Chains A and B, each alone.
Chain A
Amino acid sequence: MAEIDMAVIKPEMMKPYIWLETSDGSIQQVEQEIAMYCPLICQEIIQKGMGSSKNCAICLPQRVSPSTLSLILDYCRFHQVPGRSNKERKSYDERFIRMDTKRLCELTSAADSLQLKPLVDLTSRALARIIEGKSPEEIREIFHLPDDLTEEEKLEPLKNTTDDPRIRLLNRLYAKKRKELKERERLKNVEVEEEHVDKRSVDDLLSFINGNDEDPKGIKTSKNKKKNRRKKEQQQKNSSLKETSEVNKEVNGQNIRHPNSEADRIAETSISNTEDVFAHKEFDDGDIDDGIDPALKEKIDREVEDFARRLNSDWPERMQELLSTGQERKTMLFTPNGNSFIRFDLKAPLPDNGLERRQRIVSLDYEADPDTYITFPFPVIPLA
């Protein structure tokens, strides 16, 4: 009799239990007050009346595995007791959160699916502490992220938010110019292919980073000023490019797409003349001798001027030339000659090299497909 009494009395004295079913199909019993700490479970019980028996067990979201569920229930079991001090809760949390990152991620995922916000906060902060201060390589290592971005994507202007914004603007303008020229190329379709070897000198791109304090609106400045400035630029470039010359070599070597010997030669000379900085000044329309549509050219010129105006005052005028001449599809050597310049095509012999001659190779690679434009090998990769 006593046993029967016990059997009868016992269920009433027991705390109410809830049945939970995890993603693998296993069903377990959990004290109701602990399970109710999770808003999702609470909702299921109250609104839908589920969980009171094995048959209508509450189906937990797929992201909650049995091991994660036990962790979550431990957490709930501790925190749902109202009498604990903040200090106790904090120290419990700190001990609780000590687990490997894999389980931490799973826990975050499960807590999020159960809408258990305090636990999501706790695990998120723990993950944030892990991520903070690490380089991308380290983060990939820790979380086993696939390194599936192309080098180019890593260098995209998007990343330039951590870098000089003028690089980004420059990239945009280059992209625009390229598009325009591609269109023209398609329309015209008469250009000599091998003359499309273009290569942008990295020095120039780097140089403006180094803070040349040039007047950017120098399209129409006087020759004297230009000469002085050129000298100054040269000195600045000399001092600033020594370290990067090696990398330049590598870059220039890689960026030559066409095995044109002339281009190679020019590339070589550009490398050897890294100190030489070209400062192209005027761009007379009268010097145009190829089939470039002057109207389009003017339009592009105007855009370039606009661009220069919009930029900071220390935008070196060299960059401006770069942009305005970037549309040319020939490899060009510019020799400053008063207000004008002389362009050579590749077949022509190089002009005699005076000590003061500066040369620069402007090249844009129109031959290759759109994604191979040369972006700046700048340290736009996120910093360690």
Chain B
Amino acid sequence: MAIGGSVLSCFCLFPFSVSRKDKSQSSGRSSSFRLSNSEEVDRISSLPDEVICHILSFIPTKEVVTTSVLSTRWRTLWTSVLALDFEDNWPCFFNTNFASIVGSILDQRRAKSINRLCIHNHNKSFSIELIGTLVSTAVAQNLQELDLFCYYYLEVTLPNILFTCKTISILKLSFGSTINLNGVSSIHLPSLKVLHLYLLYLADDEPVMRFFSGCPILEELCYEEVKSNNSTSFKICMPLLKKLHLKCHDKRVQIVTPSLEYLQVQETKVCDTLVCNLPNLIKTHVDIYFDKCEQEYVSKLFNGIHHTNFLELSTYTTEVLADSSFGFPEFHNLVHLKLCLSTIDYCFLIQLMLTKCPKLQILDIDKVYEESAERKRTLPTTPVPKLS
């Protein structure tokens, strides 16, 4: 992407056109207007406005604006699209003027609400103030989904109004830098269902706790690579949470989520009562590491997840498990087991697991370091075959 780079190369790339309405021509229209061969009828324009705007809401804003030159029907359709999606590919001649481009787009929009605001930015096009303004504007216009994936900043402060937004249901934040939540006095997001926090730094954990407690109906939480200076333990206590994706190296996390159906735990330090009892669990991916002295924590973890229907254990986990003499609980619902193995001998582990899974139907074994990967073998439901 050429930002402010060679301006003239941009000129050469784009089609040139001189505006001239010559009266001698027939109303200046181009001659490529084709008519009703039934194969060539324009069908998309006959869709109602709302549907076309719905289609356009899945496309980045830059391309949405360019649909205004397609035909007369499309000329102002873009102004009613309810989503704003700013990706990195804006050809800004001057970085500093990007704010005015964004401003002019907002000005020309006719729609009164912004359902979705998505900013994916990896360079300096967006200043923090601009992001803040956009977020505030969107929040005031019934924002439902916010997706900020912006790098290149030292510290990020989001407007407070975002944290008391009543309409937002999907919030995804990823900054690669510190996010300053200290100035946020209260966090109350009554509609928030999906929260993704990825690659953030926090001063300490307390705002995160407030965050979690301010989202009463949260159903999906992705908490990955969030680091803070004070590495204490914290609790994820959400009664309605259905999907949890956890990846944090340095913290001790307690998960108290009785409704959980999908759990993915990656590179997380095992600690006491990591996972409470999860009766509704359907799918579990476990990728943890632990020392020999922490075995009882691990057994508690497995106790917590033993209701699951599908279990996948990563190579790290299986390595450590194979080493130790580990007492698995019985996985009475487990139907599909996937083990990712490396090179050491796993016979014992596999046998152990098979004895603990009475209803097992599918066993997936992925051997990572060998050439041949042994794939699915469907087992009969009742007898557990003995491995030779």
> Which residues of A are in contact with B by a Cβ distance under 8 Å?
101-102, 105-106, 108-109, 112, 120-121, 124-125, 127-129, 131-133, 136, 139-140, 143-155, 158-166, 168, 206, 209-211, 240, 243-244, 247, 250-251, 254-255, 312, 369, 371-375, 377-379, 381-384
B33 touches A146 (CB 8 A): yes
A154 touches B44 (CB 8 A): no
Contact of B67 among A136, A155, A312 (CB under 8 A): A136
A148 touches B43 (CB 8 A): no
- Residue pairs across A and B with Cβ atoms less than 8 A apart, 27 shown, are A101-B44, A108-B47, A108-B55, A109-B47, A112-B48, A128-B58, A131-B67, A132-B58, A144-B34, A144-B40, A144-B43, A145-B74, A146-B42, A148-B71, A149-B69, A150-B27, A151-B21, A151-B28, A161-B65, A161-B104, A161-B105, A162-B101, A163-B93, A240-B8, A377-B18, A379-B11, A381-B15
Query: Nearest chain-B residue to A109 (Cβ)?
Result: B47
Contact of A154 among B10, B13, B17 (CB under 8 A): B17
B55 touches A127 (CB 8 A): yes
Query: Nearest chain-A residue to B29 (Cβ)?
Result: A148
A139 touches B70 (CB 8 A): yes
A383 touches B44 (CB 8 A): no
What is the number of residues of chain B that contact chain A, defined by CB distance less than 8 Å?
Answer: 66
Chain A's nearest CB lies how many Å from the CB of B285? 15
| Bound CA span A210–B14, Å | 16
Whether B56 sits at the interface, judged by CB under 8 Å, is: yes
B97 touches A165 (CB 8 A): yes
Choose among B19, B71, B100 the residue with the greatest number of A CB atoms under 10 Å from its CB: B19
Knowing A128-B58, A145-B74 are in contact, say whether A159-B47 is a contact too (CB < 8 A): no
- Beyond contacts A161-B108, A384-B13: 7 other A-B pairs, Cβ-Cβ < 8 A, are A147-B71, A151-B30, A158-B68, A163-B101, A243-B8, A374-B19, A383-B13
Please indicate the chain B residues that have their CB under 8 angstroms from the CB of A120 in the complex.
Answer: 51, 54
Knowing A102-B43, A108-B47, A143-B43 are in contact, say whether A151-B54 is a contact too (CB < 8 A): no
Choose among B41, B51, B59, B74 the residue with the greatest number of A CB atoms under 10 Å from its CB: B51
Please indicate the chain A residues that have their CB under 8 angstroms from the CB of B91 in the complex.
Answer: 162, 383
B33 touches A254 (CB 8 A): no
Whether B343 sits at the interface, judged by CB under 8 Å, is: no
B16 touches A379 (CB 8 A): yes
Contact of A379 among B13, B30, B51, B73 (CB under 8 A): B13
Please indicate the chain A residues that have their CB under 8 angstroms from the CB of B74 in the complex.
Answer: 145
A381 touches B70 (CB 8 A): no
Whether B60 sits at the interface, judged by CB under 8 Å, is: yes
Query: Nearest chain-A residue to B96 (Cβ)?
Result: A312
| Bound CA span A151–B47, Å | 26
| Bound CA span A164–B103, Å | 12
Please indicate the chain B residues that have their CB under 8 angstroms from the CB of A384 in the complex.
Answer: 13-14
Knowing A150-B29, A383-B66 are in contact, say whether A209-B7 is a contact too (CB < 8 A): yes
B43 touches A106 (CB 8 A): yes
A127 touches B44 (CB 8 A): yes
| Bound CA span A111–B54, Å | 13
Please indicate the chain B residues that have their CB under 8 angstroms from the CB of A375 in the complex.
Answer: 19
B108 touches A158 (CB 8 A): yes
**Nearest 6 A-B pairs (CB), nearest first?**
A382-B66, A379-B14, A128-B58, A152-B19, A105-B43, A375-B19
| Bound CA span A378–B8, Å | 11
Please indicate the chain A residues that have their CB under 8 angstroms from the CB of B55 in the complex.
Answer: 108, 124, 127-128, 131
Please indicate the chain A residues that have their CB under 8 angstroms from the CB of B32 in the complex.
Answer: 140, 146-147
Please indicate the chain A residues that have their CB under 8 angstroms from the CB of B65 in the complex.
Answer: 159, 161-162, 382
Contact of A140 among B47, B71, B101 (CB under 8 A): B71
